[in-house]
Structure 1
Amino acid sequence: MQILTISPDGYVEHQNLLNQMYRLRADVFGGRLEWNVTVVNGGERDQYDDLNPTYILATFDGDKVVGCARLLPALGPTMLERTFPRLLADGSLNATPAMIESSRFCVDTTLPAGRGEGQLHLATLTMFAGIIEWSMANGYDKIVTATDLRFERILNRAGWPMSRLGEPVPIGNTVAIAGALPADQESFKTVRPSNYWSTLSSAAGLSGRSAA
C-alpha cells in the first residue's frame, strides 16, 4: 500500500484512479453510511471537486484505490464555512494561510490487508500519515475538517486527537463535529505504519521510516 498525491496538473494522467476514488466515495458515503450525497454514474462528486483540490489516495498493488481524501486551502471556499457553518462555534473558520481543509475522507475497510497498529485498518493509518506528510511538505501546520463522532473516536484511537471547533450537531443520520488536527512530525510518526511509503517520500529520497 502506498500514498499518491494528485494535484490539478495530474488529473488527466490519473483519471482512472480518480474515477475509482469517486466510486469509493459513492460506496462509502452513499451506500454504507447512507449520507445525502449526489451519485452520478456510480461516482460521488460535489461542488468542491470543481475547485481544483489536491487528492490524497492510498493505493494497493499500484492500481487499486483503497483510501482517499480531498484537500483545499482553508482560506476558501471551504465545505466547513459554506456547507457546515453551524458546526463552527462562531460560524467562521478564522482561517490562516497555514491551514488546509480535509474532506471526503474514506477507506475501503474490506481490503484483505488487515488491521494496523492499534487494530485500526492499515489503509486508515496510511491515509492519516499521507495527509500529514503532504500538509507539512506544502507549508500547512493545521488540518481542519467536518466529520462525525464515530470518526472522532477513530482519531483518538490513532493517537491523533482532534481539537473541536464547535459543539456536535445532528445532521441527517449522523452527529457531526468540526475540528482541527496538527500537521507536525510528532503526529506523523505516531500514525505512520511501519511500512509506510509515499511518492513524496520517494521523491525526497527517504525511506518509509524517515519520511518527511
Structure 2
Amino acid sequence: MQVLAISPDRYVEHQNLLKQMHQLRVNVFGGQLEWDVTIMDGGERDQYDDLNPTYILATFGGNKVVGCARLLAVQGPIMLERTFPQLLRHGSLLASSRMVESSRFCVDATLPVGKEGGQLHLTTLTMFAGIIEWSMANGYDRIVAATDLRFERVLNRAGWPMARLGVPLVIGNTVAIAGTLPADEMSFERVRPPNYRSAPSYAEGHSRRSAA
C-alpha cells in the first residue's frame, strides 16, 4: 500500500486516481453514510474541491484508490468555517498559518488486506500517518476537522485523540463534532503501521509513502 500526495500541479498527471477518489467518496458518503452530497459525473464533489486542495490518497496495487483525504490551508475558505460554523464554540476558528484543514476523509473498509484481530484497518492507519507526515513536511503542526462521534472514537483507538472545538451537534443523520489534531513526530510514530516507509521528502510536489 502506498500514500501519495497530489498537489494542484499534479492533478492532470494523476487524473485517473482522482476520478477513483471521487467515486470512493460517492460510495462512502452517499452510499454507506447516506449523507446528502452532490454527485457529478459519477463522483462526489463540493465547492471546496475547486480551491486547489492537496489530496492524500492511499493506493493498493499501485493503481486502486482505497483511502483519501482533502487538505486546505485555513487562511482561505474551509469547510469547518463556511459550512459548519455551528460546530465551533465561538462560531469561527482562530486561524493560524500552522493549521491545515482535513476533510472528506474516507477509506474502502471492504479491502481484506490489513484488518486482523479487531484492530483498525491498515488503510486507516496509513492515511493517518500520511496526513501527519505531509502536514509536518509542509510547515503545519495542527490539523482541524469536522467529523462525527463515530470517527472521534476511531481517532482515540488509534492513539491520536482530537481536542474538541465545540459541543457535538446533530447535523443531518449524524452527530458531528469539530476539533484539532496534533501533527508531530509523537503522533506520527503512534499511528503509523509497522511496515510504513517514508520516501526522502514529503514536501509539496515530492510525495510518495508506502506501507506493506
- Specify if TM > 0.5: yes
Bigger helix share: 1
Tell me the SS of whatever aligns to 2:131. Answer: helix
- Which residue of structure 2 aligns with residue 4 of structure 1? 4
Q: Distance in 2 between matches of 1:200 and 1:66?
A: 23
Find out whether 1:33 has 2:33 as its counterpart: yes
Taking the aligned partners of 2:132 and 2:118, their CA distance within structure 1 comes to 19
- Equivalent in the alignment of 2:160: 160
The count of aligned residue pairs is 208
Change (3 A) 1:110 1:117: same
Q: How does 1:40-51 map to 2 (within 5 A)?
A: 40-51=40-51
Amino acid at match of 1:52: N
**Cα contact 2:148–2:174 (8 A) shared by 1:** yes
Give 5+ residue unaligned stretches, structure 2: none
Q: TM-score, normalised by structure 2?
A: 0.93
Inter-partner Cα distance in structure 1 for 2:202 and 2:170:
42
Q: Structure 2 CA distance, aligned partners of 1:25 and 1:173?
A: 17
Q: Aligned letter for 1:83? A: T
| Segment drifting more, 32-41 vs 96-105 | 32-41
Question: What do residues 86-123 of structure 1 show as CA deviations (whole Å, max 9, x unaligned)?
Answer: 00000011110000000000000000113269700000
User: Is the CA contact (8 Å cut-off) linking 1:88 and 1:178 kept in structure 2?
Assistant: yes
8 Å Cα contact 2:3/2:56 also seen in 1: yes
Structure 1 residue 196: Cα displacement: 1.1
**2:196 alignment partner, SS class:** coil
Which structure features the higher share of strand residues? 2
Verify the 8 A CA contact 2:133 2:202 in the aligned structure 1.
no
Deviation per residue, 1:47-78 (Å, 9 max, x gap): 00000000000000110000000000011200
Which residue is equivalent to 1:84? 84
C-alpha distance in 2 between matches for 1:115 and 1:128: 16
Deviations 1:140-171 (A, max 9, x none): 00000000000000000000000000000100
Are residue 142 (structure 1) and residue 142 (structure 2) matched?
A: yes
Alignment of 1:123-138 (within 5 A): 123-138=123-138
Do 1:98 and 1:141's aligned partners in 2 also have CA atoms closer than 8 Å? yes
- Aligned CA RMSD, in angstroms, stands at 2.1
| Percentage of pairs with the same residue | 74
Closer/same/farther in 2, CA of residues 189 and 46 from structure 1, 3 Å limit: same
Aligned counterparts of 1:117 and 1:50: Cα–Cα separation in 2? 40
Judging changes above 3 Å, is the alpha-carbon distance between structure 1 residues 117 and 103 closer, same or farther for their aligned structure 2 residues? farther
Alpha carbons of structure 1 residues 122 and 116: separation in structure 2 relative to 1, 3 Å: farther
Q: What TM-score comes out, normalization by structure 1 length?
A: 0.93
